[in-house]
Amino acid sequence: MNLLDRRHWIFDMDGTLTVAIHDFDGLRARLGLPSGAPILETCEAHPDSNRLLAEIDRWEEELAEEATAAPGVRTLLDWLSGRATLGVLTRNTRSTALRTLEVAGLAEYFDPAAVLGRDQAAAKPDPAGIELLLARWGAEGSDAVMVGDYLFDLQAGRAAGTATVWIDRIGGREFHEWADIRVSNLAHLVGSP
């Protein structure tokens, strides 16, 4: 499979486009959630969901101010620019995603209309956000790639019929059955060290 021939690329945000700095276990403890529970889904089902989701929003907004581009991301985005349509699908809010891109110096690569958060579509692993972007672009999943560092990214891509790229920066995670390609650095996709 030559992914570089595909004309539509969708990226996760945290840990994919940016260096992962989110302490999800710490957030679960702060919110009183069980260890390992999916944060958004658990909060949405909680009787005090509005307060919990507002706390998540504040936490994400604070971390957006510390965002830095992940190693190799500019190499791939430079290569794709002018060759492919680029989008972002994150479990963050859209406003936080836009701010994260700005702080990390990556905003120039993405049309703001192609940056979707949990407030535009159901959160991954639901494929709704990918499907929405593909519909806007008049594209099929077979001509698209979903790139992410977590299982939910890969599951959403598979459900939408895209190719999937797993960014496995630390090794040891077992999502390989959901990934068409596994890399530790996005620059590797274009043959850069």
Q: List beta partners, residue 14.
A: 18
Interval 63-91: pLDDT, tens: 999 999 999 999 999 999 999 999 999 99
Q: 144 and 112, same structural domain?
A: yes
Instruction: Specify the CATH number for the domain of residue 161.
Output: 3.40.50.1000
Q: 15 and 33, same structural domain?
A: no
Q: 132 and 78, same structural domain?
A: yes
- Give CA–CA dist 105/99, Å, rounded: 10
Q: 113 and 57, same structural domain?
A: no
Q: 119 and 149, same structural domain?
A: yes
Q: 59 and 121, same structural domain?
A: no
Write down the number of H helices and E strands in the chain: 7, 6
State the pTM of this model: 0.92
Q: 116 and 43, same structural domain?
A: no
Name the band, by pLDDT with cuts 50, 70 and 90, for residue 170: confident
Q: 143 and 72, same structural domain?
A: yes
- Give CA–CA dist 17/180, Å, rounded: 19
Q: 164 and 148, same structural domain?
A: yes
Residue 163 host element (H or E): strand 163-167
Q: 150 and 170, same structural domain?
A: yes
Interval 7-38: pLDDT, tens: 999 999 999 999 999 888 899 999 999 888 88
- Give CA–CA dist 161/51, Å, rounded: 35
Domain that holds residue 46: 24-64
| Residue 114 · residue 133 · CB < 8 Å | yes
